[in-house]
Structure formats: structure tokens, C-alpha cells
Amino acid sequence: MRAGKPRVGLITGGCGGIGAALCRRLAADGLTLAVIDRDTASAEALAGSLPGSGHIGLGADVADEAAVETTFQAAEARLGPVDVLVTAAGVLMLRPDGSRNPIAETPLVEWQRTMDINAQGTFLFARAYASRITAPRPGGRVVTISSVAAQLGGYRSSSAYIASKAAVIGLTKGLARELAPFGVTANSVAPGLIDAPMLRLSLDPAQDAQAAANIPLGRIGTPEDVAGAVSYLVSDDASYVTGNTIDVNGGYRMQ
Ligand SMILES: NC(=O)c1ccc[n+]([C@@H]2O[C@H](COP(=O)([O-])OP(=O)(O)OC[C@H]3O[C@@H](n4cnc5c(N)ncnc54)[C@H](O)[C@@H]3O)[C@@H](O)[C@H]2O)c1
């Protein structure tokens, strides 16, 4: 790690249920953060609520190539080089009643928007980060947020979502291989059922006990469970861990 100066982290989707927990944890770990989300005011408010000082919030659509580059440059101009990238922005498009479209009925626009945000959004930030790694970067880390849906086929998600999160896992492995010569690791965290807004699109809290019955650890996960795994992956302790997908799912799926 760089001695003296706190590492700079950039987190996409930082205003979401899981994203905000990631921001709180990484700020408490001592990183200075650029919080990225769709809405500038929300990102600034979240950044201002974090422990420590110097955090900033920036609004951007992660699917927009030009906006991603502008945002990355703005973060660097204010905080310095980005050491840690965490990509948590994502969408799950369901029908109004919370059910999924079967493939046979999936509109192309649903497929494209899901891929644009989940897969392309992760790619664009990964590319912006990787293009700046031209020399060894001690403490350099990328953590992508994928999903157990990519591994299981998903019970509560659409096939577009499943495919987009599978793309995230593959991209992360490619990134791990390319950034390894610079001492930078890249890993993915695959959450299971987490008590955060995306799960609540399809699971009413009244159904939690029934859902938890299929989880060996017997409960729905929390955003802080995901944050703990991300905190580990960006720490010194994980400097020899790369190209992995870390499951945070209570044993819902075991490899
Ligand atoms: N909640 C779960 O059970 C669960 C399980 C597995 C994976 N995940 C993943 O974890 C991440 C966070 O999920 P969550 O449950 O906290 O949902 P959430 O909806 O609270 O968080 C998603 C965040 O991404 C932001 N976002 C969406 N599209 C964006 C865009 N185009 N540009 C910028 N920001 C955008 C949203 O504004 C929001 O803040 C997602 O990537 C999701 O796929 C969630």
C-alpha cells in the first residue's frame, strides 16, 4: 500500500442498499471515496454522510461511455489516482407484479438495458481503471458485484440479468489476468439473497422465513455481509487473491 496517503476508492451504485454499505465500510477502513450514482445530489449526500473526510459524490449513468470517462477524470482531478474500484451499480428489470419475463417474452429493450448497465457499465469503469494502470500499483484493487443468479441460473431474476452478471464474472477474470503484472487484483463478490432494494422487487419481507429455509445459515443476508467480503478483498490480507468469485450467500449455493 502507499505509505502516508489514504487510498482512493471509486464506488459505482454507491447510493444503493448494498452500495451505501460498501461506502460506509470502505470509508471506515480509511479509504477516501468517490461515490458514483445516477443522481448527483444523492451521491453528494451519501458522500457527506460517510466517516472520515474528503469523500465526494458524482452523478453519472454507468452505461454512458462519455459520462464514465468524464466522471473518472473528475474523481481523479479531485482525489488523485484511483487505487480501488468497486462496481455495484446494477438493475434487475421485472414485470410490475415482480415476476420475471421468460426468455420467450423478453423484450429486446429489457435485454439491452440490463446488459448496458450491469455488463457494459462494469466494463466501462474497468476499462477506465485499467487504462490508467501503466506501472506497478501497490494496493490496487478491483471488486465487481456479480450475483448468485449468474451461478445458479437465478430463481428471482430474469435471464437478461443472469447473463449480465455472468458477463461480470468473466470480465473480472480477464481483468485479473491483465492487471496481475502490476500487482493489482480483481475479484468478484456474488451475493445471494440480500436484504436490499433489488431483492425486495421480488420478495416481500413476509416471505423471508420461507426463503431463509432454503439457506443453510438460516437467514437472508445483509448489505454489511457483502461489505465485509469487499473490505477483505481490498485489504492487504487479500493481496494474493485474484480472479476469484467470493460467494456471500449463507451457503445457498456451494461450489
Ligand atoms: N439485493 C440482492 O439480493 C442482490 C443479490 C445479488 C446481487 N446484487 C447486486 O448488488 C448490487 C446492488 O443491489 P441493491 O440490492 O443494493 O440494489 P439497489 O437498486 O439499491 O442498488 C443499485 C444502485 O445502482 C444504481 N444504478 C442503477 N443503474 C445505474 C446507472 N445506469 N448509472 C448509475 N447508477 C445506477 C442505482 O441508482 C442504485 O443506487 C447490484 O449490482 C445487484 O445486481 C444484489
Q: Is the CB of 18 under 6 A from ligand 1?
A: yes
Task: Match 431483492 to its residue by C-alpha cell.
Answer: 199
What is the mean predicted confidence (pLDDT) over 220-245? 98
| Percent of the chain residues topping a pLDDT of 90 | 95
Q: What is the mean pLDDT of residues 32-58?
A: 98
| CATH architecture of the domain with residue range 8-248 | 3-Layer(aba) Sandwich (3.40)
Residue with cell 456451494: 254
Question: 147: CA distance to ligand 1 center in Å?
Answer: 11
**Predicted TM-score (pTM) above 0.75:** yes
Q: Which residues contact 69 (CB under 8 A, 6 or more apart)?
A: 124, 128
Chain segment 21-38, per-residue pLDDT in tens:
999 999 999 999 999 999
Range of lowest pLDDT (2-6, 94-98, 177-181) = 2-6
Mean residue pLDDT across the chain: 96
pLDDT of residue 1: 53
Distance of CA 2 from the midpoint of ligand 1 (Å):
30
Nearest CA to ligand 1 atom 43: 90
Q: pLDDT, tens digit, for every residue of 74-120?
A: 999 999 999 999 999 999 999 988 899 999 999 999 999 999 999 99
Active site residues: 161
Give, to the nearest 10 degrees, the angle between helix 121-130 and helix 159-179. 10
d(CA 109, CA 118) in angstroms, rounded, equals 14
Domain ranges of the chain: 8-248
Q: Whose CA is nearest to atom 30 of ligand 1?
A: 61
- Over residues 191-205, the pLDDT tens digits come to 999 999 999 999 999
The Å distance, Cα 15 to ligand 1 centre, comes to 9
Which atom of ligand 1 is found nearest the CA of 221?
Answer: 3
Kindly state if the Cβ of 198 falls inside 6 Å of ligand 1.
yes
Contact 143, 187 (CB under 8 A): yes
Q: Is the pLDDT of residue 171 over 70?
A: yes
Residue owning the nearest CA to atom 26 of ligand 1: 89
Adjacent-strand bridge partners of 142: 85, 186
Nearest CA to ligand 1 atom 7: 147
CA distance 75 to 82: 8
Say how many Å lie between the CA of residue 162 and the centre of ligand 1: 14
17 lines ligand 1 (CB under 6 A): yes
Q: Residue 3: what pLDDT?
A: 56
Task: Please indicate whether residue 91, judged by its CB atom, sits closer than 6 Å to ligand 1.
Answer: yes
Statement: residue 212 has pLDDT above 70? yes
Cβ(144)–Cβ(87) below 8 Å: yes
- Specify the pLDDT at position 155: 83
pLDDT at 156: 83
Contact status, residue 237 vs residue 29, Cβ threshold 8 Å: no
